Structure formats: C-alpha cells, structure tokens
A and B are shown apart, each in its own frame.
Chain A
Amino acid sequence: RKEVEQDPGPFNVPEGATVAFNCTYSNSASQSFFWYRQDCRKEPKLLMSVYSSGNEDGRFTAQLNRASQYISLLIRDSKLSDSATYLCAVGERGGNKLTFGTGTQLKVEL
C-alpha cells in the first residue's frame, strides 16, 4: 500500500460546482496533515493544515478521519482559478519530512 494515496483525476467540473478530494495514508502514527496546491511547474503552496476538528477557510473545508486514515478537501463554488493539482501531505511528527501524494488534478471549466 502506498504511504499516501490520491486519485490522480483529472476532475473536470463546471464553474460554481462543489468538488471533493480524498487522500488516504498508511501510517497510523502520522501526526500532521496538509493540503497544498501546485500549479504547473511551480512550487507547492500551502492551502491549509488539517485538524481533527476539521477546518474551514472561505470556500475550502478540510477534514481528518483518523480512524479510517483519510483526509478530505471540499471546494465550494469552484472558480476557474482553482484549476491546479491538489497535493495531500502527511507528516509523522512535527519538524520532519512530509510524504506527499501524487496529487489530484482539478480543471474548472466555463
């Protein structure tokens, strides 16, 4: 089983749609969880940290399910500018390596 697994997509959605991505991780000792956004040939940009209680930032909502070892990202009211690859990243303990998934590609269309 891969350490961090994501559906590669692409997810093609119309503008204004709601889209959800999931990411599963294999190491139950994982302690930190993040969603990054990566545009083509650019660096990963931190979108949000993911907490057990769930967190929301505008149109973006992230959830963590430790029992099932997955995290999710929900994007509401999709915009053309949301088109990118969304990377899930998991850390075993603070201050050390992140293990990334392969990313899920989102294409928002008119």
Chain B
Amino acid sequence: EPEVTQTPSHQVTQMGQEVILRCVPISNHLYFYWYRQILGQKVEFLVSFYNNEISEKSEIFDDQFSVERPDGSNFTLKIRSTKLEDSAMYFCASSEPPGQKYEQYFGPGTRLTVT
C-alpha cells in the first residue's frame, strides 16, 4: 500500500538554526500539506500546496516557514530560524487530485526538538 514517508524521524537543532524537513508524498497525489502537533495538543494545519504553489496557509505559517517541491517526488518544509516553541511533531500529508475523495494520508512525522 502506498504511503507518505518523512525524513528524518527525529531532528535536534539549536535555537536560531535552519532546518529542512523532508517528505515524499504518495506518488499520484497532487495536494500536499504540512501539519504540526505540539506535545499534548491537537494537530494544527500549517500549509497546503497544489500545482507548485501555496493554496492556503495558517497564521502559524509566518515568514520563517517556507515550502518547496524541488523535484517530482520530494516536498520540503524549511524553518529558517528555529525557536523553542517550534518544537513539535511535524506531519506531512497528501491527497488525491481534485474530484476525488480528498482523503488526506499522513506520514510518520518528524519530531523536531529545538534546544
């Protein structure tokens, strides 16, 4: 069964450093997403991406965040200057093309720890 994959599974970084989280969505999916979940809290939407551009973003997704699809398979989330409060699980998700079910499938996540 196709699945979303993410690397690394755990990233430790110092405050102020840049991190790049990587995702490989399901191959025939065209919508891509990033969500985060701070420990003990709910899953929160960050950004959605379709047709090589951001289609929607939340208030959390400020100027320190960016997304990119550098090639035909990867989808990345960059945090330019990490803060302590960026520590969370970051989940990538993907869904089928328009007209289909829009069911979002999540990757296993990257646990980001900012020290």
Interface residues of A (CB under 8 A from B): 32, 34, 36, 38, 41-46, 49, 87, 89, 91, 94-103
Stretch at the interface among B68-76, B77-85, B101-109: B101-109
Contacts of A101 in B (CB 8 A): 42
Query: Known contacts being A43-B109, A46-B103, is A95 close to B31, with CB within 8 Å?
Result: yes
* In the complex, per-residue mask of B29-56: 1 if CB is within 8 Å of any chain A CB, else 0: 0010101000001111100101000011
Chain B contact residues, majority secondary structure: strand
A-B pair number, CB within 8 angstroms = 59
A98 touches B45 (CB 8 A): yes
Q: How many angstroms from the CA of A103 to the CA of B42 in the assembled complex? A: 7
Per DSSP, chain A at the interface is strand
Q: Which of B56, B106, B107, B109 contacts A97 (CB 8 A)?
A: B56
What are the 7 tightest A-B residue pairs by CB atom distance, in nearest-first order? A97-B45, A94-B102, A43-B106, A100-B43, A102-B42, A96-B56, A95-B31
